[in-house]
Structure 1
Amino acid sequence: MLDRYRDKRDPSRTPEPFGERRQGDDDQFVIQEHHARSLHWDLRLERDGVLASWAVPKGLPPDPKVNHLAVRTEDHPMEYLTFEGEIPQGEYGGGSMTVWDRGTYTCEKWSEREVKIVLNGSRAQGRFVLFQTHGKNWMIHRMDPPARDPMPALEPMLAVKRAKAPRRPGDYAFEFAWGGRRTLATIDGGRTEVKLLRPLAESFGSRSAVLDGELVTLGGAEVYICYDLLYYDGHLLTGLPFSSRRETLQSLEISGARWQTAPSWPGEFGAVRQAARDQGLPGVIGKRLNSPYEPGESQSWLLFSA
């Protein structure tokens, strides 16, 4: 049952295990995050002494309304339940592999064309069915209710112009107005439609997010300046105060050559406005710390010219 696995690999060139068939209780599973030629997740289920395996490009579906592709791959040895490592480039499956989750599962049905399971892991939980569609292509469907808030379709929150400084600057966080192209970026399954952010999206792995920011030209290069987080890892954040959304955004440590988290200074209106003038930026935005995210114009975000 492991012949196809061995035929694709050279034990002298890959750190992957080469164990023999080992009968167990048919109740263990592992999901590995695999940064190979394209990011995907490998679902492996213990069955008859090996790990029956599927490559799932977008990960487990969070909602019964959406099925995800699952490509049946060769059976893997049981030692793969704990395997993590770097498969050398040029080898089959070259790239880094980490354990995303592991645990036990209950099998409700297993046939050549359909597998019904209940996963009981720390991150993956619920009832799923895998069903064959054509050849090695299968689909995976979640059978129980959604495990998270649905991904939102949102319009951006817009600032209202003001001439005078706010009476209580301590109620606001102040940021530069960048004058760029406003862009809400959805990241899901390691992918995004914003071309510049595709490497960032892959680094998110299975975490989903909706970022709010601007595409700005700095030093001759286009950079995404991110200043708000509307959705993260299954939770809609728009009802939370800006200060809480900002805290979660900062924890993501979005920082690189082509993307940055916008600096934000609570209460520092005068200093931030002067810095905007010095740098030739169009202005300053004051964001009320206790404000939710309100699509369209909002009195909670105030725009001041530099």
Structure 2
Amino acid sequence: MTLAQYRSKRNFQNTPEPKGGKGNNNKLHFVVQKHAASHLHYDFRLELSGVLKSWAIPNGPSLDPREKRLAIMVEDHPLDYRTFEGVIPEGNYGAGTVMVWDKGTYQNYKKSSAAAASKNLKEGLSSGDLKFILDGKKLKGAFVLVKMKGSNDDKNWLLIKKKDSFATTADPLEKDHSVLSGLPFTEIQTQKAPRINKKILDLRGAKRVKQPKSFSPMLATLVYEPFDDPDWISEVKWDGYRIIAFVEDGEVQLRSRNEKDYTSIFKPVADELRTLDFNCVLDGEIAVADREGRSDFSALQNYQKTGRGNLCYFVFDLPFANGYDLRDLTLLRRKNALQSIVNGMEYIKYSDHISGKMPEMFREAVKNNLEGIMAKDASSKYVSGKRSRSWLKIKVHKRQEAVIGGFTAPKGSRIKLGSLILGIYENQKLVYVGHTGGGLSNRTLEDLYNRLHPLERKTSPFSSNFRVNAPVTWVDPKLVCEVTFAEWTPEGRMRQPIFVGLREDKNPKLATREEPKEISELAEKGAAKTRRTRNKLTHLDKIYWPDEGYTKGDLL
């Protein structure tokens, strides 16, 4: 069969279904679409030979190996049909609601390369014994499609689940929602469902470019307090790792700001991103969320050791998509495109926002013990690799990244080590800023000692001498940790620092003192716009960002 039969049955002036498009040579995809035509059924489609080989399953697929589900082979469909979701109007072939019930990738039992797998699968299709392994949202594991022997119609096949760790008697059809839009089937019946489709992204004004292989993210400036401005938006500040996701031709890389590869460590996120249908670069924070949806940095540390926890990739920006550079578009346009891409995904979550009402959102952050909030100019461009005044961060508690330059011996019942000797870089020299022994469980002490022991050295890595109330074992300044603390002392030391966790995603050389900048004048600017009054402005040459040279006048 070819697409000629598919196209002959449809008038593309009257149906939203796709005419046909090219696929991805690196991965073989599958899709299962719930289709309420004249009779409700599930369309099971496998990418093979440049088309979607298709079967209609009246009773839907099963994960129970005892069940043999009738699968009626129908005409081939185009590859881009796997992202089709919506309502086919009355009077058209197959009129009714179509929902993407499941989707993902698949391979042959031998887990060969795509080319070798295609050959093996074609042979199975020809012989009437097609074996494959699905990796979808709802269907996983080994299956077989077997042509029914003795049937008068050679289109009749059976879909059977093989016995493996994914086999279960639970009915997967009870999960009656779209893996594409996240909508339940009943909602798709009554409205046009959003689709992850590159054709609907608003990319007007974006430049056509080759997608970069590496990328420096935009950075935010720490400020003291929130302010109210309707032209700014507020987001939750997630307590995790800043991760840039590169999605290109079905392949995914997850990298931190210092180019450390986290693809295998956060495999569920990478696997889900591989199901996207086009190339893009995503910016976000990977975190582990508790039952209330709050991110927990210590839980993220634990996830890397155990693989347990509610892992989420909270994405908040889209610098590149579908071969276009979106960085010169406004933030809200980038976020709108981003939301259409990740809507309905399991591990990738859109980081939503509110307009204005920054003080109210900050109070909620304090109430719920969050790390803080992000404030962003809704019309701002994406400035790669720079700390911008268009993105601001307001933290609930004082936090600082510090380099571990040594540790003291334990006392009493303490195991392995006593306190961590901490420093930051100033003018490319490591400067002592305090020590901490708080926040260290026995398991953390054991882990830290195992990491620090190979780094031991005879001399101090710090640029000057200082007094410590116990003998110190010095180490190479390779590990970065994060601490909370009460305040900076006049001597430049942190008062009451408490260990939060290691920051393996950070470059030690970038651990510098971070102090909030004055932003009250910017808050006044927002208030003035709201009241539509004229205020007398003074001291416009006062410098508020010495490193970048921004003055009060620059903010206006």
Q: TM-score by structure 1 length?
A: 0.54
CA gap 1:32/1:290 in 2 versus in 1, 3 angstroms: closer
CA gap 1:248/1:89 in 2 versus in 1, 3 angstroms: same
Which residue in the other structure is 2:236 paired with? Answer: 176
SS in 2 for 1:90: strand
Separation in structure 1 between the aligned mates of residue 364 and residue 144 of structure 2, nearest angstrom:
50
Is residue 2:359 matched to residue 1:270? yes
Which residue in the other structure is 1:102 paired with? Answer: none
Which residue in the other structure is 2:553 paired with? Answer: none
Separation in structure 1 between the aligned mates of residue 21 and residue 222 of structure 2, nearest angstrom:
53
Separation in structure 1 between the aligned mates of residue 355 and residue 363 of structure 2, nearest angstrom:
15
Which residue in the other structure is 1:89 paired with? Answer: 143
Q: Give the counterpart of 2:330 among 241, 254, 257.
A: 241
Which residue in the other structure is 1:192 paired with? Answer: 252
CA contact (8 A) 2:226 2:362 kept: no
Give the root-mean-square deviation of aligned CA atoms. 3.8
**C-alpha deviations, 1:2-32, integer Å up to 9, x for none?**
xxxxxxxxxxxxxxx49xxxxxxxxxx9645
CA contact (8 A) 2:284 2:313 kept: yes
Which residue in the other structure is 2:392 paired with? Answer: 302
Task: Report matched runs for 1:34-73 at 5 Å.
Answer: 34-35=28-29, 42-43=49-50, 73=119
SS in 1 for 2:251: coil
SS in 2 for 1:301: strand
Which residue in the other structure is 1:98 paired with? Answer: none
CA contact (8 A) 1:172 1:286 kept: yes
CA contact (8 A) 1:32 1:41 kept: no
Q: TM-score by structure 2 length?
A: 0.31
Could you tell me which runs of 5 or more consecutive residues in structure 1 were left unpaired when the two chains were aligned.
Answer: 1-16, 19-28, 45-68, 78-87, 95-122, 124-146
Task: Report matched runs for 1:1-306 at 5 Å.
Answer: 17=1, 31=22, 34-35=28-29, 42-43=49-50, 73=119, 89-91=143-145, 148-152=208-212, 153-166=214-227, 169-193=229-253, 194=263, 195-205=267-277, 207-219=278-290, 220-295=309-384, 296-306=386-396
AA aligned to 1:258 is Y
Report which of the two structures shows the higher radius of gyration computed on alpha carbons.
2
AA aligned to 1:305 is K
AA aligned to 2:288 is T
SS in 2 for 1:224: strand
CA gap 1:42/1:275 in 2 versus in 1, 3 angstroms: farther
AA aligned to 1:202 is R
CA gap 1:149/1:89 in 2 versus in 1, 3 angstroms: farther
CA gap 1:268/1:188 in 2 versus in 1, 3 angstroms: same
Normalized per residue, the structure richer in helix is 2
CA contact (8 A) 2:281 2:321 kept: yes
SS in 2 for 1:210: strand
Task: State the Cα distance separating 1:148 from its structure 2 match.
Answer: 4.8
Which residue in the other structure is 2:541 paired with? Answer: none
CA gap 1:256/1:188 in 2 versus in 1, 3 angstroms: same
Separation in structure 2 between the aligned mates of residue 184 and residue 253 of structure 1, nearest angstrom:
15
Separation in structure 2 between the aligned mates of residue 42 and residue 277 of structure 1, nearest angstrom:
56
AA aligned to 1:213 is G
**C-alpha deviations, 1:245-294, integer Å up to 9, x for none?**
01111122434442211121111202211221122111111011111111
CA gap 1:245/1:270 in 2 versus in 1, 3 angstroms: same
CA contact (8 A) 2:342 2:348 kept: no
AA aligned to 1:230 is P
SS in 2 for 1:169: coil
SS in 1 for 2:282: strand
CA gap 1:190/1:285 in 2 versus in 1, 3 angstroms: same
Task: State the Cα distance separating 1:217 from its structure 2 match.
Answer: 1.2
CA gap 1:281/1:255 in 2 versus in 1, 3 angstroms: farther
SS in 1 for 2:352: coil
The higher-RCO structure (CA 8 Å, 6+ apart) is 1
CA contact (8 A) 1:31 1:41 kept: no
Task: State the Cα distance separating 1:239 from its structure 2 match.
Answer: 1.2
Separation in structure 1 between the aligned mates of residue 345 and residue 50 of structure 2, nearest angstrom:
31
Separation in structure 2 between the aligned mates of residue 163 and residue 30 of structure 1, nearest angstrom:
52
Separation in structure 2 between the aligned mates of residue 150 and residue 270 of structure 1, nearest angstrom:
41
More displaced stretch, 279-288 vs 250-259: 250-259
CA contact (8 A) 1:158 1:297 kept: yes
CA contact (8 A) 2:343 2:350 kept: yes
**C-alpha deviations, 1:34-87, integer Å up to 9, x for none?**
415xx977548xxxxxxxxxxxxxxxxxxxxxxxx977856999xxxxxxxxxx
Aligned length: 195
Separation in structure 2 between the aligned mates of residue 184 and residue 30 of structure 1, nearest angstrom:
29
Which residue in the other structure is 2:504 paired with? Answer: none
Task: State the Cα distance separating 1:213 from its structure 2 match.
Answer: 0.4
